[in-house]
């Protein structure tokens, strides 16, 4: 329990520090700020979006503490060391630093302006913001420590099972799998974009809405095993899809896996392994002929592994597979 709270605290720390910095600067400059304040800058460096002075802190608090709360909750519930969550920690630290710098810089640009429309924001701030995010994100990466090797995720499974099939008989296995995490994150991002668009009266936050909707669209997929190999496609369409043909598969096994132990949710890359992770739980592990590994989290992975091993043993010619 103590370690869980420590992990959550480490992940939440940069968001709290950034929020405290924004709060302190806002309090120091409040008497010099126009009402409304400029909160969005156009391509030329001139303000084109505004927020009421009284709404600035609630908006800034939402921007900084909501993602911090989500990230720390994920770290708390993960049950894995921070080394297995380096991507989450680094992304959180970089995001918090970028948002904190941008909000403080905006307050500085607003200070002393008679009207928010007169506020200018030198675009070199964007370069500084990215540099700060990179530096702080790197610090978070180092703080998290080393990632565990892929083999440490779970005990090695026994020899791959087989699914008995008669001579000339074939079979197809398919399951759909969804990600509650991607649903929550996607809905949260989309709603945040809607709220910010309404509050600030600008449309740039539509990028958040689009990003949230994309996350929702990719939160469920269908996994299929047949004579052609393994394929993964979105739930709403047969394409685009990912396919691993039989000739690339050496062996298939199944075992339990934690999402963060595989690098987090979504399509993840680790040394020697790529993973499509939608949730923790039952997962299909493919050992490829190249020596690398592919993992997809899906229910009834044992049946999928057994069928794949049988089809691989027969070979693509015997199964009638075509490229």
| pLDDT tens-place string over residues 97-122 | 988 998 999 899 899 888 888 888 88
Distance CA 306, CA 301 (A): 9
User: Residue 247 belongs to what domain range?
Assistant: 150-178+221-323
pLDDT, greater one: 126 or 80: 126
Domain harbouring 250, CATH code: 2.30.29.30
Residues 127 and 7 in one domain: yes
Residues 38 and 75 in one domain: yes
Residues 188 and 270 in one domain: no
Residues 48 and 161 in one domain: no
- The predicted-structure confidence for 305-316, as pLDDT tens digits, reads as follows 999 999 998 876
Distance CA 120, CA 108 (A): 10
* Weakest-pLDDT range from 140-144, 234-238, 243-247: 234-238
Residues 203 and 263 in one domain: no
Per cent of the chain over pLDDT 70 is: 82
H or E element, residue 276: strand 273-277
Residues 77 and 164 in one domain: no
Does residue 151 carry a pLDDT above 70?
no
Residues 236 and 304 in one domain: yes
Does residue 152 carry a pLDDT above 50?
no
Give CA 232 to chain center in angstroms.
19
Cβ–Cβ < 8 Å for 242, 276: yes
Residues 19 and 102 in one domain: yes
- The predicted-structure confidence for 287-305, as pLDDT tens digits, reads as follows 999 999 999 999 999 999 9
Residues 91 and 120 in one domain: yes
Which residue, of 189, 218, 247, is where some domain finishes? 218
**pTM above 0.95?**
no
Does residue 17 carry a pLDDT above 50?
yes
Residues 242 and 134 in one domain: no
Half-sphere exposure of 298 (CA within 13 A, CB side): 30
Does residue 31 carry a pLDDT above 50?
yes
Helices (H), the chain: 2-29, 53-78, 86-110, 124-144, 180-200, 206-217, 301-314, 316-319
Does residue 207 carry a pLDDT above 90?
no
Distance CA 2, CA 24 (A): 31
Q: Give the total number of structural domains in the chain.
A: 3
Which residue, of 193, 218, 243, is where some domain finishes? 218
3-state SS, residue 308: helix
Which residue, of 126, 147, 168, is where some domain finishes? 147
- The predicted-structure confidence for 159-169, as pLDDT tens digits, reads as follows 567 888 877 78
Residues 6+ apart with CB under 8 A from 297: 177, 257, 259, 262, 275, 276, 277, 278, 279, 280, 281, 282, 283, 284
Residues 254 and 205 in one domain: no
Does residue 204 carry a pLDDT above 70?
no
- Residue 284's beta-bridge partner residues? 254, 296
Cβ–Cβ < 8 Å for 84, 261: yes
Residues 174 and 292 in one domain: yes
């Amino acid at each position: 329990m103590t370690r869980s709270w420590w992990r959550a605290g480490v992940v939440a720390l940069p968001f709290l520090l950034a929020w405290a910095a924004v709060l302190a600067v806002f309090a120091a400059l409040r008497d010099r700020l126009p009402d409304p304040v400029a909160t969005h800058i156009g391509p030329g460096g001139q303000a084109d979006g505004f927020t009421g002075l009284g709404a600035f802190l609630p908006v800034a608090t939402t921007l900084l503490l909501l993602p911090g709360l989500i990230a720390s909750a994920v770290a708390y519930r993960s049950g894995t060391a921070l080394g297995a969550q380096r991507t989450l920690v680094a992304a959180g630290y970089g995001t918090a630093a970028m948002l904190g710098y941008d909000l403080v810089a905006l307050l500085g640009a607003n200070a002393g302006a008679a009207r928010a429309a007169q506020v200018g924001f030198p675009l070199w701030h964007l370069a500084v913001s990215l540099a700060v995010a990179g530096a702080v994100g790197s610090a978070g990466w180092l703080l998290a420590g080393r990632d565990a090797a892929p083999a440490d995720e779970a005990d090695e499974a026994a020899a791959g099972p087989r699914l008995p099939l008669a001579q000339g008989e074939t079979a197809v296995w398919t399951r759909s799998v969804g990600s509650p995490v991607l649903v929550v994150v996607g809905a949260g991002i989309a709603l945040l974009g809607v709220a910010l668009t309404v509050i600030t009266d600008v449309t740039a936050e539509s990028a958040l809405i689009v990003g949230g909707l994309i996350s929702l669209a990719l939160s469920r997929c269908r996994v299929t095993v047949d004579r052609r190999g393994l394929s993964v496609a979105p739930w709403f369409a047969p394409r685009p899809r990912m396919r691993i043909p039989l000739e690339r598969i050496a062996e298939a096994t199944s075992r339990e896996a934690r999402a963060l132990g595989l690098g987090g949710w979504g399509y993840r890359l680790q040394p020697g392994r790529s993973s499509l992770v939608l949730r923790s739980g039952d997962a299909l592990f493919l050992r490829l002929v190249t020596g690398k590994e592919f993992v997809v989290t899906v229910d009834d992975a044992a049946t999928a592994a057994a069928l794949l091993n049988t089809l691989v043993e027969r070979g693509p010619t015997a199964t009638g597979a075509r490229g």
